[in-house]
Amino acid sequence: MSIQPVLLPTDLLVFVLVLCAAALAIHARRQPPLREAWLRVGEHPAAMAAASILLVFALIGLLDSLHYRPQLPPGKDAAAKTVYSSEVSSALDALLAPLRAQTEKTYSAPFARRLFQRETMETPDGGQTRGFPRLQYGARHLQDGDSLPADVAMRLAWTPFAALAVSGCALLALALAVARGRACRPGEAIRLILAGRTALAWRPALIVLFAAALLAAAVAALGPHYHMLGTDKVGQDVLYLSLKSIRTGLVIGTLTTLIMLPFAAALGIAAGYLGGWVDDLIQYVYTVLNSIPSVLLIAASVLMMQVMIDTHPQWFDTAAQRSDARLLALCAILGITSWTNLCRLLRGETLKLRELDYVQAARAFGASTPVILRRHILPNVMHIVLITVVMDFSGLVLAEAVLSYVGIGVDPTTISFGSMINMARAELAREPAVWWSLVSAFVFMLLLVLAANLLADAVRDAFDPRLRRNR
């Protein structure tokens, strides 16, 4: 079956971001101070574990960013040219195909055999009864007398070995690298890593890898046969929804900063270095934007964007494109409201740097203003940029959920933590409560945001010269 690749605007930006990160990594390797700072981050066990968790999330998000349109099955006329589905899928959808396709009628609890709601059913003798019907897909291979835990245990039997194999391979590769760096035998290196005595904290990273491999294997083993986290109101698998939400959260957390960064940096540095009316103007603009409580500013902007999208349906070919445009616009709007903080910080730092001897010397040598800004000021304020980027990430992920709840977040068709919470929130009032959607969203979000917060703390400690002096 052939496919037609689709490159949505956010996909493009996500790949640009990955390229930027790669370029930065190469740059940081070459620069001793940067290298040293990143190594300090890596010494933190919590930071390494957090970075590994974020990498797993990023991998899921990247898989979900490879979009394509599958070919529709050919009709009777074999000569007709191939037709592609108007529905855009992603590589993650393809991996999770059973989870995506196996939708039930409505709610069902995690690992349930039967639907959560009573329905009228036909009895074999032709009469009707009220009861909980069996699920269409979840646990359908089980006979009524079969034990569910026994079946689950049997299916899970191989997963620890797979996870061990994966993390064992990673351990071997790491050990070889460590052994080369320390000029010791690989066996010795393995012992060092397992004892947690390497310079970089590899042990927590390996533990996270093991846990991730175990979970992935468990999903592979059980996913097609059970709804591991239950199903939601329209019968979609909650695990699938949770995994799909990751991309939305990551896109908002990263692209927002990517979009606003050039403007904030350019304006902040220009205001601080040039002074005069440029400074006054830029300060006035960000004071005005800052005086509007951000949620109201976002609400107003999103409403206007909605009107624009609604009145121009001709701009978008598919529903995926429309919701993607909306996601991107939301990132831009969040960027507009959040650039002021970074701009203010950069302006203050540039004001300080401008008077330092080395900048004065550069000016005395006749270096032009753009050259001074690019070569002498920008590299020396980059730590502020980096710290702001990592600190903002978790706040943005949290903001997405709240905004989607208020109704000014992502498109209703985009799967996100906010829309999951929004759908699930009313159902706690049921008796018994439908808790699994909320708990899944809670756990996934907590993991993502907690990891981001821990990493941000480590990055700030390593890169902020003020904190380093205090230590």
Partner 1 sequence: MLAYVIRRLLYALPILLGVNLFTFVLFFGVNSPDDIARMQLGAKYASPAAIERWKAERGYDKPMFFNPDRAGLAKLTDTLFVDKSLRMFTFEFGRSDDGRDIAREIRDRVGPSFAIALPTFALGLFAAITCALLLVFFRATALDFWGVVICVAMMSISSLFYIIGGQWLVAKLWMLAPISGYAGGLDMTRFLSLPVLLGVVAGLGSGTRWYRTIFLEEISRDYVRTARAKGLSELAVLFRHVLKNAMIPVLTTVVVTIPSLFLGSLLMESFFAVPGLGSYTIDAIRSQDFAVVRAMVFIGSVLYIAALILTDLSYTAVDPRVRLG
Residues contributing to the site for partner 1 (CB under 8 A): 284-285, 287-289, 291-297, 299-301, 303-308, 310-311, 394, 398, 401-402, 405-408, 417, 421, 425, 428-429, 433, 438, 442, 445-446, 449-450, 452-454, 457, 470
Q: Which tokens sit at 318?
A: 């598919």
Q: 212-218 contacts: CB < 8 A, separation 24 or more?
A: 212/52, 212/53, 212/56, 213/162, 213/163, 213/166, 213/167, 214/159, 214/160, 214/163, 217/158, 217/159, 217/162, 217/163, 218/156, 218/159
- What are the φ/ψ torsions at residue 431 (nearest 5 degrees)? -125, 115
With respect to partner 1, which residue has the nearer C-beta, 16 or 433? 433
Beta-ladder partners of 313: none
With respect to partner 1, which residue has the nearer C-beta, 88 or 264? 264
Cβ 449 to partner 1, closest distance in Å? 4
Cβ 399 to partner 1, closest distance in Å? 9
With respect to partner 1, which residue has the nearer C-beta, 295 or 378? 295
Residue 178 CB neighbours (<10 A): 20
- Rounded-to-5 percentages of helix, strand, coil across the chain: 70, 5, 25
- Are 337 and 294 contacting, i.e. CB atoms less than 8 angstroms apart? yes
Cβ 232 to partner 1, closest distance in Å? 16
Q: Which amino acid is at 196?
A: G
Cα–chain-centroid distance for residue 155?
30
Q: Which tokens sit at 104?
A: 């039930």
What's the rounded Cα separation, in Å, for the pair 245 and 438? 13
Cβ 389 to partner 1, closest distance in Å? 18
- Are 397 and 249 contacting, i.e. CB atoms less than 8 angstroms apart? yes
Strand order in the sheet with 67-70: 3-6, 67-70, 89-90
Buried b (16+ CB within 10 A) or exposed e, 407-422: ebbbbeebbbbbbbbb
Cβ 203 to partner 1, closest distance in Å? 19
With respect to partner 1, which residue has the nearer C-beta, 219 or 438? 438
Cβ 380 to partner 1, closest distance in Å? 24
With respect to partner 1, which residue has the nearer C-beta, 161 or 284? 284
Residue 123 CB neighbours (<10 A): 9
Cβ 36 to partner 1, closest distance in Å? 24
With respect to partner 1, which residue has the nearer C-beta, 104 or 411? 411
With respect to partner 1, which residue has the nearer C-beta, 2 or 291? 291
Cβ 53 to partner 1, closest distance in Å? 12
With respect to partner 1, which residue has the nearer C-beta, 342 or 449? 449
What's the rounded Cα separation, in Å, for the pair 3 and 308? 32
Cβ 187 to partner 1, closest distance in Å? 35
What's the rounded Cα separation, in Å, for the pair 31 and 302? 42
With respect to partner 1, which residue has the nearer C-beta, 194 or 297? 297
